[in-house]
């Protein structure tokens, strides 16, 4: 965690700030992408982009070669990404984070492309209509640093390490697709509990698991996404079933449901 001297506007980066930052990134469906000036205009370009995340929490985007920002990223990989939804009242009172990143194009016919494509379409199913067009490509936005504003007077600076999710020593990536298919087919009641109790959502749903990793899972219902963390990062894939059952049991206890 990054420690800052007292008396500065920037607060010490603690576990709560890191959790907030990771949640903002994981639950974002779109963001404002800023790229460096191109020779034609000399001005920076900002565009809204569709977002998902790779297994380690790195943001991923799907963009067309016809878009000005795609050419800018190829010419200079440095970029910034702003995410964070506004709500009622003053938009500046709601959390948001700006990420400084370097864009890396994901080549087709690679394991990384298959993984990112699957995870992206789980959040944006309509993107399947054009994701495989020849002029579309996925980019990872490899984070260099983050600037988190959690609301008035709550500013933090984060490192790439602060923002990265746990690696895949647990082997979750290999079982992710099968585990999600099983849960969505047979345990929709548990998923609704995860969203309501562990995710704090009151939406009726229906909720589905879109993606999983070593630290948690991302649930979707229409355009809504909620990030749900496990009690602790998984040490092995064998722990997943036990942890999911434990979380469902805890949620039922909170709701007074003994089933």
pLDDT of residue 185: 97
63 and 154 housed in the same domain: yes
69-73, 134-138, 201-205: segment of lowest average pLDDT: 201-205
54 and 114 housed in the same domain: yes
What distance in Å separates the CA atoms of residue 18 and residue 156, rounded to the nearest whole number? 9
The CATH number given to whatever domain includes residue 144 is: 2.30.110.10
What distance in Å separates the CA atoms of residue 76 and residue 231, rounded to the nearest whole number? 40
Q: Which tokens belong to 129? A: 């209509």
Residues 182-234 have pLDDT tens digits of 999 999 999 999 999 999 998 888 999 999 999 999 999 999 999 999 999 99
Residues 97-109 have pLDDT tens digits of 999 999 999 999 9
132 and 197 housed in the same domain: no
What distance in Å separates the CA atoms of residue 193 and residue 3, rounded to the nearest whole number? 36
The CATH number given to whatever domain includes residue 238 is: 3.20.180.10
Residues 178-196 have pLDDT tens digits of 999 999 999 999 999 999 9
What distance in Å separates the CA atoms of residue 165 and residue 233, rounded to the nearest whole number? 9
Compute the average pLDDT of residues 70-89.
93
53 and 178 housed in the same domain: no
Which of 136, 163, 190 is where one domain is finished? 163
Which of 110, 130, 163 is where one domain is finished? 163
Residues 13-67 have pLDDT tens digits of 999 999 999 999 999 999 999 999 776 778 889 999 999 999 999 999 999 999 9
Which of 163, 187, 209 is where one domain is finished? 163
107 and 136 housed in the same domain: yes
pLDDT of residue 153: 83
- pTM here is 0.91
Compute the average pLDDT of residues 114-129.
96
pLDDT of residue 85: 87
Q: Which DSSP symbol is given to 196?
A: I
Indicate if the pLDDT at residue 76 is higher than 90. yes
180 and 221 housed in the same domain: yes
pLDDT of residue 258: 58
118 and 196 housed in the same domain: no
Report the SS3 class of residue 155: strand
157 and 179 housed in the same domain: no
Average pLDDT score, the chain: 92
pLDDT of residue 3: 54
45 and 114 housed in the same domain: yes
94: domain range? 15-163
Residue 67 φ/ψ, nearest 5 degrees: -80, 140
Total domains, the chain: 2
Indicate if the pLDDT at residue 243 is higher than 70. yes
């Amino acid at each position: 965690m990054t420690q800052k001297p007292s008396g500065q506007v920037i607060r010490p980066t603690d576990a709560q700030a890191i959790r907030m930052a990771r949640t903002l990134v994981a639950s974002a469906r779109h963001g404002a992408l800023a790229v460096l000036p191109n020779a034609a205009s000399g001005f920076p370009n900002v565009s809204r982009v569709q977002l998902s995340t790779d297994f380690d929490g790195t943001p991923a985007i799907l963009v067309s070669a016809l878009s000005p920002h795609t050419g800018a990223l190829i010419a200079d990989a440095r970029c910034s990404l702003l995410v964070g939804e506004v709500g009622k009242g003053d938009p500046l009172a709601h959390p948001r984070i700006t990420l400084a990143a370097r864009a890396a194009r994901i080549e087709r016919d690679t394991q990384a492309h298959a993984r990112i494509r699957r995870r992206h379409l789980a959040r944006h199913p309509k993107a399947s209509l054009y994701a495989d067009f020849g002029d579309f490509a996925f980019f990872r936005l490899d984070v260099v640093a983050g600037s988190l504003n959690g609301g008035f007077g709550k500013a933090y600076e984060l490192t790439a390490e602060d923002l990265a999710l746990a690696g895949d020593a647990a082997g979750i990536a290999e079982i992710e697709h099968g585990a999600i298919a099983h849960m969505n087919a047979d345990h929709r009641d548990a998923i609704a509990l995860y969203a309501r109790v562990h995710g704090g959502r009151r939406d009726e749903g229906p909720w589905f698991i879109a993606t999983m990793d070593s630290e948690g899972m991302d649930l979707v219902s229409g355009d809504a996404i909620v990030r749900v963390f496990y009690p602790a990062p998984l040490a092995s894939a064998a722990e997943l079933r036990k942890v999911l059952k434990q979380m469902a049991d805890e949620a039922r206890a909170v709701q007074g449901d003994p089933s």
